[in-house]
Structure 1
Amino acid sequence: MNLLKNKMGKMTSVNLSFFFIVVLLFWIKTYAAYQIEFNLGIQNAFQHFLLFINPLSSALLFFSLALFWKGRARNIAFVLINVLLSFVLYANIAYYRFFNDFITVPVLMQAKSNAGIGSSAMELISIFDLFYFVDTFIIIGLIVMKKAGLQEKLRIRTVMSVMTSAVLIFLLNLGLANIDRPELLTRSFDRNYLVKYLGVNNFTIYDLVQNSKTTAKRAMADSSEISEVENYVKSNNPKPNPEMFGKAKDMNVIYVSMESLQTFAIDKKVNGKEVTPFLNSLVKDEGAFYFDNFFHQTGQGKTSDAEFMMENSLFGLPQGAVYMTHAENTYQSAPAMLKDEGYTSAVFHGNYKTFWNRSEMYRSFGYDKFYDATYYDMEKQDHLVSYGLKDKPFFKESMPYLTSLKQPFYSKFLTLSNHFPFDRHEKDTDFQKGTTGDKVVDNYFQTAHYMDQSLEQFFNDLKKSGLYDNTVIVMYGDHYGISENHNEAMGKVLGEEVTDNKHAQLQRVPLYIRVPGVKGEVNHTYSSQVDVMPTVMHLLGQDTKDYIHFGQDLFAKDRDEIVPFRNGDVISKEFSHVKGVCYDNVTGEPVQEAERKQACQQVSDEGTKRLELSDKVVYEDLLRFYQPKDFKKIDRNDYQYVNPNPKNSPNPEQQGAEH
């Protein structure tokens, strides 16, 4: 009997030895990827230890599934599981290289819309990336050389013991993580934290669970849940500035999304020449208001998130893009609000209507017209970038459509040229590239200058058309162009080290509002994209007090100047709460006094509250239960965007990836 037990023990040991080799290889590879690819903000030895152990639990759990088989089937299962986990890891690596973020379920749902990533994808892939599949080749090699050992059937008790060990290691990991980061799974807006403490695979599982819960939220929501949101919004809604309210009544509105333009480029010189000379002149020469403490708040939806906030004064989501996951919700957008005032609404975009699911979302917003790429000449290759039409031909070809709109109109132009990887404009401008040695940063200045030239061209065309003197023009940077991956080069541009706090400050994007007959100025209020909708509505004489919105009029005298970000950071006039550290905005140094730390935490909590309530509105589709006075609900069936005479058909190769 003892002999049999000894034999069974040895057999189990042999059977599991290959399993542990497979787990060890994947563990080492994952930890190496963390060190090489991700900037997770490791601050101490304890966090480093958690980073080291966090791949273990998921590796044990997933590879233990192969132990239910025996022989060749088990070996095949080992390989297939390894390939799947390696693909998840590498997909996150490639995604992180530009977005500085991790893939979520809503992002995967967006993949079809963002097909044909073209040159952007090539910029993110390296031959050295084969390293992230080397353990797969090692496993296959060991199997082929019959070094995998005996693969006899294991007792269920043995397999369950391995799986239980995986769960216990995860619980230990989670417990230690909560010591360093309390309420990690309940209050985290930052996926970097989740990966740092729990790992890529455990984050993916968490995301699947969260996405399922989100789907259930809408089904369970009822009309009583809008009350909390309504009470909060109405108690945090400063009165419009009477000196500005109605100053643009019955005027046309043009929004221009300035792709990837950050505020550091404004008034910047390269080789002695201004990067954005036209934008620099707007306050003095065109009488525009310029907001120099205006921040983007986009998440994974990037340009679409910016559109969503500018139209609705609601925040984008912590995962994925509202445009992709909640396009059929009920919204009370700016173009819908203006319908009773006789406004015609239109969007102009040099890409196809399916990109970012715009044709579906615009139906929910109530846009009357959508001029997508089928309305433009997409045959001239020198007029194209990977994402659609370059800015100069885009604006030029848009003018006949714009002038044909019934006035007053509410319109939006989405530019594309100043887009990662910031290339294909060498022949369009004589502006020289930067000299940092970083290709992306150096190209950025050239494409930003080209966009500046195109905006000047557009302004001149508006003046020639007669629209200029009766049109409010709002121009805004939609999101960052230069990610954290280029901090070293940005340090050369700025002449100082780019710390976590400095990078947060770099999320400023320019905002210009030009109102005919009103003299503009530089406005220093701390503000963000959710603030623009109520501002423009008030300029047009539309009161927003009965609407659900989280922004505050930029001209209101008692606005609170709090800017929350989707990663959980919050910036205010006095403080910047970045990655859990409170900084003084004057000195840039961490706040030391207990009383001021508490004040900073209150600002952070207020920002978090706004994000949570906005998420509740979107996830649960609460606006279907809310009817503002005199607002007519949009019927999506009334809107379809079909070009009866298309100049071209959609070409996936011209539909780039949005960054």
Structure 2
Amino acid sequence: MSTGLKRIRNIFNTTLGFYLLVVVLFTLKTYLCYRTDFTLGSSGSVQNFLLFVNPIPSAMLLFGIALYFRGKLSYWLMLIIDFLQSTWLFANILYYREFSDFLSMGIIKGTGDVQNNLGKSLMEILHPTDFIAYADIILLILLLLFRVIKIEKKPFKKRYALLITVLSFVLMFAEYNVANADRSGLLTRTFDNNYIVKYLGLNEYAAFNIYQNHKETATRANAKEKDLKQVQDFIKKNQISPNAEYYGKEKGKNVFIIHLESFQQFLIDYKVDGKEVTPNINKFYHNQNTLAFDNFYHQVAQGKTSDAETMLENSLYGLPQGSAMVSYGAQNTYQAAPSILNQDGYSSASFHGDVPTFWNRNNAYKSWGYEYFFSSSYYKNKPEYNVGYGMKDKIFFDQSIKYIQQLPQPFYAKMITLTNHYPYELDKQNTDFPATNTGDSTVDPYVQTAHYLDQSFGEFQDYLEKSGLAKNSVVVLYGDHYGISNNHRPAIAKLLGKKSVNKYDLAQFQKVPFMINGSNINGKVDHTYGGEIDVLPTLLHLLGVNNDNMIQFGHDLLSANNQQIVPFRNGDFVSKQYTKVGGTIYDTSTGKEIKPDDEQKKQIQTIQDYVNDSLSNSDKVIYGDLLRFHKINGYKPVNKKEINYGKTDALKKLEQTNKSKKTDLVSQNDNKSTVSDFSTDAPELK
């Protein structure tokens, strides 16, 4: 062995040398994962430099803990710490691939509520190369086992260990200052989690997230009634009057909310090999009694579907991290659509072909005032009835009819479809539509499950017509969030018929459908800009329900005074004039990037101030549970103790209510069931 190699080996045969090797290998591995597994958008010398060095300070600090111990224990501690950090990295690689975001304490706390049926998705998400997250540990263990590196038995001096600890904090502080100089207000303003990881690192993001979570818990404990005043002032300042032409147009009608899972706007009128992907939804979209909004955006963050439901039924934004339904669904007070309409004589029910604990729905729905929740225990189930995240949509609609016909009218009913969910799997007997040919295995089957969802909706719509419910119901269709994440840029470009896509294109790709159909509505395709936060006030005004004194952050999309500003959870926005993505501003009508002049900067800042205030005030409501202090004349808060979703108790309550009220569909049909009015071609039921 040459003298040079011996010297290098002698260095690694010391505790300090092994420590430095661990830090270097961990840093290189993390940087490689940053580049290959995440889309952090680093640009310029400062950002690229920080991206490379940001794993070092926290690695020095955490691995440095082992230096306070001696001999084998020191080495074992470094390997254990490396394993824990690598597992955190590995978990984020998988989560990011599916959700384009990083794990948070809110998500981790809610793991038990969202883990059901995730096994199959995990196998779809997992790539063999992901295990590179553990490569350095394997290498280090082999070096020790084969005694290429020998364990130093004498203790590492404590003063040197302390010096390394201090140095790691100094480097963290220096890193933060450089990052904050390049991105002002990095930790104080509402930014995408990608920014924090890009500038500070994955471990620092975790630490900041834990701090945020603790702060949120303390905020609720310390919240006072006076804290609501600032929120009310903001709501009052931005309140707009309803459109007199539409106000009360559908008063007293049943409401169906059809939740189109992972359904994006581009699917409307989209064709593959000359065939419409969604012919039934297309027909509904263009119906003479349908108000269809073609500039409607999902606004979800980490909570995905739960964020969409929170916005849709509460007009409150989802949280910056985690899910409001999971973290605050049980204990908070809400003024949600079911409880609001209950004051107006409505019954309410949600239908979902999966377990009730998913997204903590069994608790959140009680807080929202849902009287009934028909989840998996209410449905007959067989293995072939399910795919991915739950019951296939055709079977779900088929089995829901017997409960729908028992609901006292008028009712508010939400139907949550599931089949069009990642990984977009469908058995051969249900697949009769061609896949796209982008070459992306995640994207190409998307149109097939979307087509199946469309067929399912078509069957349900036929039932509404045959049973007579259609004429006395408002039917709302909406897409909860994207189905194809922005990580699939080449495939998105092919879907859109473009050579490539930029940030503006990706922002526009976040459009989802929103349609309202009612017999008294003069239908049209409305170009108003809006999002999920706007659904509740729009629907309430159509039903003739006054929301003047309610805490709602959305606006009636039909009002002439609507500002048409769509805030996104990361602080970006779309308005009629401008689209902001990160630090880039586009002309919304042309899609061209603009360099704002002084007047435009003022306009953009006014919009940004509204976006920031809207998000922060909504957060105050949820974190502080401020609605517990809010009183509305004539509004009775939800009494969760009166609500029981157990099948026996719920069906008994339905039976007793219908005996006294006789407003359910069966009673109005001379006590004859309408189940036979529903027809499906589901092969599993033949």
Sort the TM-score into its range (normalised by shorter chain).
over 0.9
Q: Tell me the residue number matched to 1:138.
A: 139
**Cα offset for 1:604?**
2.1
**C-alpha distance in 1 between matches for 2:49 and 2:356:** 47
**C-alpha distance in 2 between matches for 1:601 and 1:484:** 26
**Cα offset for 1:189?**
2.7
Q: Tell me the residue number matched to 1:307.
A: 309
**C-alpha distance in 2 between matches for 1:340 and 1:37:** 50
TM-score by length of 1: 0.95
| Equivalent residue in structure 2 for 1:341, among 337, 341, 344 | 344
**Cα offset for 1:338?**
1.5
**C-alpha distance in 1 between matches for 2:348 and 2:446:** 32
CA contact (8 A) 1:329 1:621 kept: yes
Amino acid at match of 1:308: T
**C-alpha distance in 2 between matches for 1:452 and 1:493:** 19
Q: Tell me the residue number matched to 2:265.
A: 263
Alignment deviations for residues 31-69 of structure 1 (CA, whole Å, 9 cap, x no partner): 000011110111212110010110000100000011111
Aligned pairs, how many?
637
Amino acid at match of 2:205: F
Q: Which runs of 5+ in 1 are unaligned?
A: 1-9, 648-659
Q: Tell me the residue number matched to 2:67.
A: 67
Amino acid at match of 2:463: D
Amino acid at match of 2:523: G
Amino acid at match of 1:60: M
Q: Tell me the residue number matched to 2:128.
A: 127
Alignment deviations for residues 136-167 of structure 1 (CA, whole Å, 9 cap, x no partner): 11121222233144142223211110011111
**C-alpha distance in 2 between matches for 1:88 and 1:270:** 40
Amino acid at match of 1:627: K
Alignment deviations for residues 309-367 of structure 1 (CA, whole Å, 9 cap, x no partner): 11100000000000110012000111111122211000000001011110000110111
Q: Tell me the residue number matched to 1:651.
A: none
Q: Tell me the residue number matched to 2:47.
A: 47
Give the secondary-structure state (helix, strand or coil) at the position aligned to 1:413: strand
**Cα offset for 1:238?**
0.6
Q: Tell me the residue number matched to 1:22.
A: 22
Give the secondary-structure state (helix, strand or coil) at the position aligned to 1:289: strand
Alignment deviations for residues 589-634 of structure 1 (CA, whole Å, 9 cap, x no partner): 2212322233223212211210011001000100011112211111
1:617–1:273: structure 2 CA closer, same or farther, 3 Å change rule? same
Q: Tell me the residue number matched to 1:84.
A: 84
**C-alpha distance in 2 between matches for 1:111 and 1:480:** 21
- Which piece of structure 1 moves more, 266-275 or 423-432? 423-432
User: Which runs of structure 2 are paired with 1:608-627 in the superposition (5 Å)?
Assistant: 608-627=612-631
Q: Tell me the residue number matched to 1:193.
A: 195
**Residue 427 (structure 1) aligned with residue 433 (structure 2):** no
**C-alpha distance in 1 between matches for 2:286 and 2:136:** 61
**C-alpha distance in 2 between matches for 1:520 and 1:228:** 38
**C-alpha distance in 1 between matches for 2:352 and 2:392:** 10
**C-alpha distance in 2 between matches for 1:442 and 1:601:** 40
CA contact (8 A) 1:425 1:450 kept: no
CA contact (8 A) 1:577 1:604 kept: no
Amino acid at match of 2:422: F
Give the secondary-structure state (helix, strand or coil) at the position aligned to 2:586: strand
Q: Tell me the residue number matched to 2:677.
A: none
- Which piece of structure 1 moves more, 511-520 or 101-110? 511-520
User: Which runs of structure 2 are paired with 1:82-481 in the superposition (5 Å)?
Assistant: 82-115=82-115, 116-146=117-147, 147-285=149-287, 287-327=289-329, 328-379=331-382, 381-481=383-483
**C-alpha distance in 1 between matches for 2:29 and 2:532:** 40
**C-alpha distance in 1 between matches for 2:427 and 2:462:** 22
**Residue 636 (structure 1) aligned with residue 640 (structure 2):** yes
Give the secondary-structure state (helix, strand or coil) at the position aligned to 1:423: coil
**Cα offset for 1:425?**
4.3
CA contact (8 A) 1:292 1:523 kept: yes
**C-alpha distance in 2 between matches for 1:126 and 1:525:** 42
Give the secondary-structure state (helix, strand or coil) at the position aligned to 1:84: helix
CA contact (8 A) 2:287 2:523 kept: no
Alignment deviations for residues 80-121 of structure 1 (CA, whole Å, 9 cap, x no partner): 101000000110000000100000001101111122412210
CA contact (8 A) 1:118 1:386 kept: no
1:21–1:12: structure 2 CA closer, same or farther, 3 Å change rule? closer
TM-score by length of 2: 0.91
Q: Tell me the residue number matched to 1:38.
A: 38
Amino acid at match of 1:419: H
1:251–1:154: structure 2 CA closer, same or farther, 3 Å change rule? same
**Cα offset for 1:565?**
0.7
Give the secondary-structure state (helix, strand or coil) at the position aligned to 1:112: helix
Amino acid at match of 2:309: E
Q: Tell me the residue number matched to 2:609.
A: 605
CA contact (8 A) 1:98 1:485 kept: no
**Residue 518 (structure 1) aligned with residue 524 (structure 2):** no
CA contact (8 A) 1:575 1:585 kept: yes
Alignment deviations for residues 524-569 of structure 1 (CA, whole Å, 9 cap, x no partner): 0000001010111111111101000000001111100000111221
Report percent identity of matched pairs: 42
**Cα offset for 1:469?**
0.3
Give the secondary-structure state (helix, strand or coil) at the position aligned to 1:253: strand
CA contact (8 A) 1:12 1:154 kept: no
Alignment deviations for residues 16-44 of structure 1 (CA, whole Å, 9 cap, x no partner): 11110011110110000001111011121
CA contact (8 A) 1:114 1:355 kept: yes
Q: Which runs of 5+ in 2 are unaligned?
A: 1-9, 652-686
Following TM superposition, where does structure 1 have runs of at least 4 consecutive aligned residues deviating by more than 4 angstroms? Answer: 10-13
CA contact (8 A) 1:283 1:520 kept: no
1:425–1:564: structure 2 CA closer, same or farther, 3 Å change rule? farther
Q: Tell me the residue number matched to 2:531.
A: 528
- Which piece of structure 1 moves more, 423-432 or 541-550? 423-432
Alignment deviations for residues 259-301 of structure 1 (CA, whole Å, 9 cap, x no partner): 0000111111110111111111124445211000000011111
1:11–1:571: structure 2 CA closer, same or farther, 3 Å change rule? closer
Amino acid at match of 2:86: S
**C-alpha distance in 1 between matches for 2:642 and 2:452:** 38
Task: Output the aligned Cα RMSD.
Answer: 1.6
Amino acid at match of 2:27: W
**C-alpha distance in 1 between matches for 2:153 and 2:195:** 39
Give the secondary-structure state (helix, strand or coil) at the position aligned to 2:102: coil
Give the secondary-structure state (helix, strand or coil) at the position aligned to 2:112: coil
Give the secondary-structure state (helix, strand or coil) at the position aligned to 1:113: helix
Give the secondary-structure state (helix, strand or coil) at the position aligned to 2:77: helix
Q: Tell me the residue number matched to 2:501.
A: 498
1:135–1:646: structure 2 CA closer, same or farther, 3 Å change rule? farther
Q: Tell me the residue number matched to 2:7.
A: none
